[in-house]
Amino acid sequence: MLIRTLPLAALVFALPATAQTAADTQFRAIADAEWTWRQSEGIGGRAPGTVRDNIPDVSATAQARRLAKWEATLKQLDGIDPTTLSTEDAVNYGVYRQQIEALIDDQRALEWQKPLNSDSAFWSNLQFSARGDFAGGEKDYRAYLSMLGDIGTHFDQQIANMDLGLARGFTPPKIVMQGRDASVEAIANATDPTRTVYWQPFATLPASMPEATRNQLQDQARARITQTVIPAHKKLLTYLRGTYFPGMRDGLAATGYEDGAEYYASRIRVFTTTDMTADQIHQLGLSEVARIRARMEIVKAEAGFSGDLAAFLTFLKTDPQFYATTPEQLLKEAAWHSQKFDNVASRWFGRMPRSRVSIKPVPDDIAPFYTAGRGGAGGYLVNTYDLPSRPLYSLPALTLHEADPGHHWQATLSAENDALPEWRRYTYISAFGEGWGLYAEALGEEMGMYTTPYELFGMLSYQMWRAARLVVDTGIHTKGWSRDRALAFMRDNTALSDHEVTTEIDRYIGWPGQALSYYIGQLAIQRERARAEKALGAKFAIRAFHDTVLSLGSVPLPVLTQRIDRFIAEGGVSPWGEAE
């Protein structure tokens, strides 16, 4: 059985005292102790730029230990009456309780037995450690070398975990994993350690570092990659091709797993932080698809196109004027759109992140199966693979979502907000984070970021893409939709390229529920803004509203509602003062 969550409204919507209470002390002791333990396990979030010196234990024993710890923590939380908490800790309690419930949901669902999907996998996620800034100098390089030494054990543990999932049919569907072992093969077949991604930090060691130290680090890296990393990848590749991939399930629907209906309901709960049903989400998606499609028709006419919407989509997908001819051009265009936002940012936000966004291409080894872009506190990755599938008219919306004021902006402000406990600064709730990113795309129209009808249509296509996810994800996992039907629905309703449509649909098939978080989160933020505008009238200030939302870090959607209740009651002032 999967965990049944209590309504968050019941947990945090009372109006408690503002002064610190005995219940606050009790709650903080519980949260601080568990977070310290989580850090000792190596599974808590850390500050951007942190270089880990080890890989966390992911064995079945460790998973059982974590489930027991979080179940005990939840029982402790049950002993606290949220109405006796101060205003600050009532919010903290709502955020923290949802974190623990989501962690328990993942453990009870045995997600650790399926550590891969078509979008990402444990081996490809690990490769991002080689692409850090290593700003800490020699200390960071030595920590990284220590981490490389854990790869063999880590892969062995993950193989054992996948074996457990394979034995009960808990694998990604076979069709979406084709070719996903390419990045494993590239390292497994390497004959020169300096030609692997894991050598990258040592290729350009700082000139200020003593030569003897540079030589020592490089020698140790060659040895570690040759003796540990490459053999681990060889073993993994043999397992994937000889055992795991041939044994993966053929079915697509999450409801086809053991206790599949409850499993998918848990994914909805974790990724949306709501109690919505799959049917409710499906119908919401259909309604929003129809609404956005009507707006698309208007923008198509504004572009002067006389054909129907299908013909316009074909025009957008095939006309060379809408596509970069070199990776450098695409990256420069992305940088230009980021600069355009910088020019208007102060009109929309009171507080700015101290850390600026960096823009880099998606690494070549994962680019063929990767999404169009991805952002966060570490910067903004732009996929330059297959340029005819990367339309320039979508780039403004993509940049607003992934860079500023989207993921990079939100995640960086969260990390820099030392008024929040660490377990709020360095953790991520998909409905809030992805909802904010999608809200940032829509905000771009108000900010004047879309300067042609084609760019505005690109934003609408991205909105349609996320609304269509509500239909497609629930269709695949609860209504018997085939992959072909899902592909057709996305092609017929968005201006995404065929390559993007295919990688996205395979992502939804292999990662049930995650794609639901974006549009549900955006609608929640837009709903709260509309409510605040109506209640405050002339007192409403957009900078104060945005700063209020971003001051939260990353929270469940009901907690956002509670905070906007307070924002309205306090007269619409910014928590940071800059917007007043």
What pLDDT digit, counting tens, does each position of 218-244 carry? Answer: 999 999 999 999 999 999 999 999 999
Question: How distant, in Å, are the alpha carbons of 354, 360, 384, 434, 521 from that of 334?
Answer: 20, 10, 11, 20, 25
Strands 359-361 and 379-382: parallel
Helix (H, G, I), strand (E, B) or coil at 57: coil
Residue with tokens 């629905």: 489
Cα distance between the two ends of the chain: 49
Residues (pLDDT < 70) of the chain are 1-18, 578-580
pTM, full prediction: 0.91
The amino acid sitting at 29 is A
CB atoms inside a 10 Å sphere around CB 182: 12
CB atoms inside a 10 Å sphere around CB 78: 10
For CA atoms 118, 121, 126, 132, the dihedral sign is: positive
Peptide bond preceding 353 in cis form (omega within 30 of 0): no
Q: How far is it, in rounded angstroms, from Cα 544 to Cα 578? A: 8
Strands 373-376 and 379-382: antiparallel
CB atoms inside a 10 Å sphere around CB 275: 14
Q: How far is it, in rounded angstroms, from Cα 568 to Cα 117? A: 42
Query: What pLDDT, on the 0 to 100 scale, is given for residue 580?
Result: 44
Query: What pLDDT, on the 0 to 100 scale, is given for residue 5?
Result: 40
428, 48 contact by CB (below 8 A): no
Query: What pLDDT, on the 0 to 100 scale, is given for residue 578?
Result: 57
Strands 373-376 and 359-361: unpaired
- Which strands, in side-by-side order, build the sheet including 359-361? 359-361, 379-382, 373-376
Smallest CA-to-CA distance from 96 within 556, 565, 518, 514 is with: 556
Phi, psi of 207 (to 5 degrees): -65, -25
Q: How far is it, in rounded angstroms, from Cα 206 to Cα 136? A: 11
pLDDT in tens, 132-162: 889 899 999 999 999 999 999 999 999 999 9
Question: How distant, in Å, are the alpha carbons of 14, 24, 148 from that of 29?
Answer: 22, 8, 35
437, 410 contact by CB (below 8 A): yes
Helix (H, G, I), strand (E, B) or coil at 143: helix
Query: What pLDDT, on the 0 to 100 scale, is given for residue 558?
Result: 95
Question: How distant, in Å, are the alpha carbons of 325, 331, 369, 399, 461 from that of 391?
Answer: 11, 12, 17, 13, 11
